Chain A
Amino acid sequence: MMKRLIAVCALIATPLFAQDFSEGSNAKTWNLYAEVPATFEAEVVDILCTVAGDCANACADGRQLGLLRSADNQLVFPNKNRQSSFNGAAYDLHPYCGKTVDVDGLMIEDEDIPGAKNIYLIQFIKEAGAADWEKANKWTKVWAEKHPEAKGKGPWFRRAPRVNAAIEADGYFGQGLSHEDAYALTQ
């Protein structure tokens, strides 16, 4: 009896964390040190609700969303979507909150950096079992719809009103240096 119990404990405690989710992945590399392709099924959840039980405003716009992986109940935190301009993943996940999805992307697990575990860059998403994948690249489109006043040339982060106001107030280093002085320090 005791041996069986110990065996079950061992099964629960270790091997699930070592599962390989790279099989079948079509994720493109970002040439990151600790990236591993990973595709899996998961429920899209509100992290604040799931972790802290703060659920009154669950799945509302502006809250971080996570992926509760079906295979092992691990909570994966998508930090990044597939775009290359400082975009998170919440806008891409938001339409699926509460639903079960398939995702494909890159998992970051770096033993040398405390906390770098279950961090994910999502590249593709679809409802579980659906035929067609969607690219996780909605951020800039959603942002543009929310900020028509910031329409213009160049990347969004050069036009973002809050960012520009912060730089105007405190400078690029946050130290109050003028644009010219800050730039001179980088030359």
Chain B
Amino acid sequence: MKFKVALAALLMAQPALAAEGERVQITGEIIDTWCYFSGVMGGPDAVVGSAHHTCALWCSAGGIPVGLLGEDGEVYMVLKIEGDDQSASGDTQMTLASHEIVADGMLYKRDGLNYLVVEKVVEDRGITNLNHEDYGVVPGFAIPKPKK
């Protein structure tokens, strides 16, 4: 009987319901997560910042999830920003593509991923990672040849 009770308690403790959130303030860059996680266009250093800004716009508009790449190296999947829950192709997240921001909100963790509900963008520092000076443009076709 005790064993069954203990087992039931353990199973109930599994994350079937919404997780408990934690109040956090995180500084980082708004990135497109697919390019960052998959490596489809190169290493992590090349798929962030100004070099990847145009692609970040495309991915955000295309509904690829955006994340906040924190100074701690962790990626926080952004589900909502200042009341805007349009996390698949929404306007708010797109205006912040590649920007370094200070975000205040609630952090939730589940199954290896960090999820962030941004209640306030405390500071928007714009694009501060000027890595186009090192990488040019990523992907290379992002800037078409100008028409004469």
Contact = CB atoms under 8 A, between A and B. Distances in A.
Query: Is B one of A's binding partners?
Result: yes
Contacts of B74: 114-115
Given A182-B143, A185-B136, A115 B50 contact: no
B75 A114 contact: yes
Contacts of B16: 73
Given A172-B54, A182-B143, A108 B18 contact: no
A179 B146 CA distance: 7
Closest 9 CB pairs of A and B: A88-B63, A117-B112, A53-B18, A115-B75, A62-B86, A90-B88, A86-B62, A86-B58, A173-B50
Most buried by A among B2, B57, B76: B57
Contacts of A89: 63
Contacts, number: 208
Given A5-B6, A12-B10, A87-B62, A52 B94 contact: no
A163 B44 CA distance: 23
A158 B76 CA distance: 28
A89 to B, nearest CB: 8
A174 B53 contact: yes
A147 to B, nearest CB: 10
A161 to B, nearest CB: 9
